Structure 1
Amino acid sequence: MATHGQAQSGLGRIVSEIEETAIALILGLMTIITFINVVLRYGFNTGIIWGLEAVTFLFAWLVLFGMSYAVKVTAHLGVDAVINLFNEGPRKVLAVIAGLICVIYAGLLMKGAWDYWAPFAGLDATSGRWFPTGFENSRDQAWYEVIDIPVPEWLRFIEPIMNEGEAYEKLPRFIPYFMLPFGAALLLLRFVQATLNVITGRQTSLIVSHEAEDAVEDVKHMNAEG
């Protein structure tokens, strides 16, 4: 089975670095913002007004990064009791079928994520009910803002581009919402990679984690040592 340390292509290494760095940064920022807010709230009876909204967005980003990263390291939970009843050949066929279903699912998720995000970025959504058949005009919602997070001064350059020169008071929504199509694209990439690994024999299963069984074995081992 492919492991986390397996040699990767250049694109694979870049994507892995993005995922791992982003997950570490997000966890760190969530911890720092929450800690500061707790200290301010209970020590000084004040707080960071935009802290809760920022942590909420960061948590959503963490989930979206995490779902693709978990595919890469085969950390998603799965039930393979029935699949393991089959011999290696049929088991591989079933794993490939499962992979293709996951690829289709990720493709649909990416289309939905793009169609939701595109209006906030002043872009066109895709046409077609299930699969994109082109692009169609969608209502420009680039002026929509978040509730509390102020817009950094260094982002003012986007106002003539995205908001017809009008000043943003809060962070425009298309920035935190960009994680939706980006996360879906990462998930699609990881499912494609995992399916190809199954087809080429570098993995024997898709995204099965035997976390519960491993925990039971650890307890048995500890009891045996005791």
Structure 2
Amino acid sequence: MSPDNTPAPRLQRLTQFAMAACLGVMAVAVFVNVVLRYGFGSGVAASEELSRLLFVWMVFIGATAAYPAGEHMAFTSLIGLLRRHRTAMLLATAVIRLLVVTGAGLVAHGAWQQVMVGLDSHSVVLGYPTALLPLPAFLSAAAIGVMALIELFKRQPLDLGHGVEVE
């Protein structure tokens, strides 16, 4: 199996395609709505709901894809100081991963509660279950939590995806 056929690059391409598709549909929907509203005096009401739904999905797909790449916010200057002390670095890495798992668990729990509430109601114009709005938050938090747990159990060194520098 060549390096390009490994699961990670395929998942990266899939997430990039999903985000691009969301952005493309949003752009077309908003453009058509603006042209219709200002050119012909009436717009498409579904454009706003569709754009909002796709934006939420795009953000959480991006957040999930950013975690394994180390592209989330980090305290790189603190980690830079700890790199000289192996034990402190291992402890800090474990604490960071536990905090990520805890935070992801809290977000997932809250998002799941919103999903359950949204199952009984529907959007005004398009009629989709409003559970589709908090669902990507739940999926993203669950995926990030699982990735952090795997990194914790594998004792994977903290990789910030970039050089340690003061930002």
Contact 1:33–1:51 (8 Å) recurs in 2 = yes
Q: Which has the larger radius of gyration?
A: 1
Deviation at 1:106, TM superposition (A): 0.5
State the distance in 2 between where 1:25 and 1:191 align.
28
Report the equivalent of 2:65. Answer: 69
Post-superposition Cα deviations, 1:93-151, rounded to whole Å, max 9, x if no partner, equal: 21221011101111121112112212433xxxxxxxxxxxxxxxxxxxx2x111222xx
Cα root mean square deviation, aligned: 3.0
Show the 5 A alignment for 1:145-160.
Answer: 145-149=122-126
Show the 5 A alignment for 1:53-92.
Answer: 53-86=49-82, 87-89=84-86, 90-92=88-90
Where does the alignment leave 5 or more consecutive residues of structure 1 unmatched? 122-141, 150-169, 214-226
Post-superposition Cα deviations, 1:148-181, rounded to whole Å, max 9, x if no partner, equal: 22xxxxxxxxxxxxxxxxxxxx222233443232
Show the 5 A alignment for 1:101-180.
Answer: 101-121=99-119, 142=120, 144-149=121-126, 170-180=127-137
Q: SS of 1:82's equivalent? A: helix
Give the % identical residues. 24
CA change 1:62–1:6 in 2 (3 A) is same
CA change 1:173–1:82 in 2 (3 A) is closer
CA change 1:17–1:6 in 2 (3 A) is closer
Report the equivalent of 1:27. Answer: 23
CA change 1:209–1:173 in 2 (3 A) is farther
State the distance in 1 between where 2:27 and 2:163 align.
28
Where does the alignment leave 5 or more consecutive residues of structure 2 unmatched? none
Compare the two structures and name the one with the higher strand fraction: 1
State the distance in 2 between where 1:209 and 1:59 align.
31
Q: TM-score, normalised by structure 2?
A: 0.78
CA change 1:173–1:74 in 2 (3 A) is same
CA change 1:119–1:14 in 2 (3 A) is farther
Residue number among 119, 140, 143 corresponding to 1:186 in the alignment: 143
Compare the two structures and name the one with the higher helix fraction: 2
Q: SS of 2:125's equivalent? A: strand
For these two proteins, the number of residue pairs brought into alignment is 163
Q: SS of 2:159's equivalent? A: coil
